[in-house]
Structure 1
Amino acid sequence: MSPNQATALALMAALAWGIGNVAQKTILEHLDGFAATGITALVGVVVLLPLLLRESSADLPPVRGSLPLLLAISLLFTFASTVMQFGYGLTTVTNAGFMVNTAAVLTPVLAWLFLSQRPHLAIWPASLSTLLGIFLMAGASWSGLTPGDLLALLSALGFAVWTLAVGAYVMRTRRPVLMTVVQLAVSGVLCIGLGTAFHGLPAPHALSAALPEILFMGLVSKGLAYVLMAIAQQHISATCVGVLVSAEAVFGAAIAALVLGETMGMLRGIGSICIILGVIIAARIPTQLPESRPSARALQP
């Protein structure tokens, strides 16, 4: 796969998540955050089973020794996605989408600080442009952040670490579908267990009312998008992918304006342009596979 094709896959994942941001908000009208995260994750597992069977029959490197990293990926994903789901319930779709995508800035910084990965120089203006866009989307004042915004920022930190771990795993094993299925299965079981402990089982009428969101999030936001991102990370660096998928915030804001009537205003409009500029810069960065290989060694248990 060429770097341009991998870039296109990352942007397709961003589009899928952006559209799914509206479902992230409306599903909470019927289900609690744990149930929403867990049920949609298990739907994603079912959707991906045919692809998993196909991948398992391919001639790929052995996965021996990768179980601890895969478990870490699954727990990071569970934490980040659950915190994100609760964040969507306490702020607007537009704000949550942009706050979660501060991961685009955190990913190269964490890779540089903890994994000694020296990213392409262009990733810094791309990240700074993205950070400026996020700041403007927050109303040009961090003091106006809501509890939902703060949860979204905490989720972003989890997703930044998760992105680096995913890059290490898929570069080592070349099994993006296996990784996605395991992380969704772990997330689904843990979240449904926590939801049952705190809130009891969801009522049948609540499940029925949330069925459109459950199916869309399970099929597209969970089943499709995470596989596309994992495949892309076999061909372009985790830091580059982190900036590319921040386009999710722009897609999500546009869909929220159409479906939920959320407005952006001038500042947020300028912020979205800054994020788009960051994505364009990241899309022009050449493939950085040499960067990903050291990360795989650095994260090897």
Structure 2
Amino acid sequence: MKLLRHGPKGDEKPGLLDPEGRIRDLSGHIADLTSAHLGKETLARLKALDWRTLPAVATAGAPARLAPIVADTGKLICVGLNYSDHAAESGMAVPSEPVLFMKATSAIVGANDAVVLPRDSAKSDWEVELGVVIGTRARYVEESEALDYVAGYCVVNDLSEREYQLERGGQWDKGKGCDTFGPVGPWLVTADEVPDPQNLDLWLEVNGKRYQQGSTRTMVFTVAQLVSYISRFMTLHPGDIISTGTPPGVGLGQKPDPVYLKPGDMMRLGISGLGEQQQTVHAWNEELIDA
């Protein structure tokens, strides 16, 4: 089942993607797609619905906006250097334990929403990543049981301002949490449709050029290991998203010179079975962020 939220900012509605690729509205069954709807019982109830009876969302003209997949994500937890070849291109050692940092929830936007560069940005970069959406509260869970706590998976673009992240002192968060730097979606694919999260292909293009091409098979730490590990440091709540790291091919790692995002660039990225995102990059524009 592919769950989603659609509609303009502030007026989003819950929906699902039907087998024919159309958005069906779920407003008659749930008010919105929130953390309260990610438990196994609610997901089973939604899956049992006959999608043919759900209203199709009109797509004449411009397609419906795809909003962030969960209305009330409490934490966006990211994993750094989780692909050994990406660590190498970044000039950093492969970690012996997962590197964790937080991305501000104010960074979260829809899959195709505008990406707005922060003021004076010089080194903004892209990162396609597998997102793991928590469905059941997890605290000190065993690795063997960790996937039972997962509601589903999604595509994440973990955008990063490298100067802020690496050259301005302190922790990585200041280069990771900029407004619009966390596109998620286009939909939440429930865990029953992803039998092996360690066998997914990831890719990302900028202006039609393929920069990233990888597979979750090469993760240093698996999804199950990450859920278990993170749950030992903080309680994971329904709606929390873990962004599990990126394969090689980021702008920072390009040779002979890094390549960074500029206004007008178009990013397109996706993960097998989880859909695609597409974002246009804009110069700083506060009205665009708030629109």
Q: What TM-score, normalized by structure 1, do the two folds share?
A: 0.26
Highest relative contact order (Cα 8 Å, sep 6+), 1 or 2? Answer: 1
Whose helix proportion is higher, 1 or 2?
1
Q: What TM-score, normalized by structure 2, do the two folds share?
A: 0.26
Whose strand proportion is higher, 1 or 2?
2
